């Protein structure tokens, strides 16, 4: 059961749906006439990616990578580990990496550098949330849902210690929860 006293709503379910529709329309325009491979970064991006691919009006395929740099912490360790790699080759394909949130940029920079070495036609990034104030890697997303301040957010696939992913809104987790 979610304890709503621990959360402040940042974006409602309705606001998120409108933003996802806007992103999907732009991606559809930008890749018109091309086939797209959408790569979701597990676990956080799975909810966003599921909604996003349903509003992209193009032929597309999907694959997933699972990487970790947080564990159960609220702060990135800076060490990126690939837990699950892609199942298929990306050589010669237009790749769209879908991420829930870009924070320090370390993980996404690491992933995109690996992907670029695999010979795709293009690699672009779509993130739902971007925290540029925390950036310490040279990464810029091509499609951004929201730019947010340095909040710790949960819901809509985002978690704290594997909890709160199932909440349909994006919420700020009160510091009293993770400073215990």
Catalytic site residues? Answer: 103
* Structure tokens, 123: 């690699």
* Structure tokens, 45: 């991006």
Query: Around 14, how many Cα atoms within 13 Å sit in the side-chain half-sphere?
Result: 0
Contact 166/5 with Cβ under 8 angstroms? no
Cα–Cα dist 12/109, whole Å:
29
Cα–Cα dist 177/114, whole Å:
35
Question: Coil, helix or strand for 76?
Answer: coil
DSSP states along 125-180: EEEEEE-GGG--S----SEEEEE--S--EEBTTB-BTTBSTT-SSEEEEPHHHHT-
**Helix axes 46-54 and 13-30, enclosed angle (nearest 10):** 60
């Amino acid at each position: 059961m979610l304890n709503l006293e621990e959360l402040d709503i940042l974006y409602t379910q309705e606001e998120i749906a409108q933003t996802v529709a806007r992103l999907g329309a732009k991606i559809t325009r930008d890749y018109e006439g091309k086939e797209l491979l959408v790569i979701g970064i597990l676990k956080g991006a799975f909810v966003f990616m599921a909604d996003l691919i349903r509003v992209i009006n193009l032929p597309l395929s999907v694959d997933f990578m699972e990487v970790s740099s947080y564990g159960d912490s609220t702060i990135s360790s800076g060490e990126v580990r690939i837990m699950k790699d892609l199942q298929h080759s990306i050589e010669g394909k237009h790749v769209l990496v879908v991420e829930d949130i870009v924070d320090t940029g370390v993980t996404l920079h690491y992933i995109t550098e690996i992907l670029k070495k695999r010979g795709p036609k293009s690699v672009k990034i779509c993130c739902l949330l971007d925290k540029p104030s925390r950036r310490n890697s040279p990464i810029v997303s091509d499609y951004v849902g929201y730019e947010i301040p340095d909040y710790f957010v949960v819901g809509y696939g985002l978690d704290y210690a594997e909890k709160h992913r199932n909440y349909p809104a994006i919420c700020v987790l009160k510091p009293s929860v993770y400073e215990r």
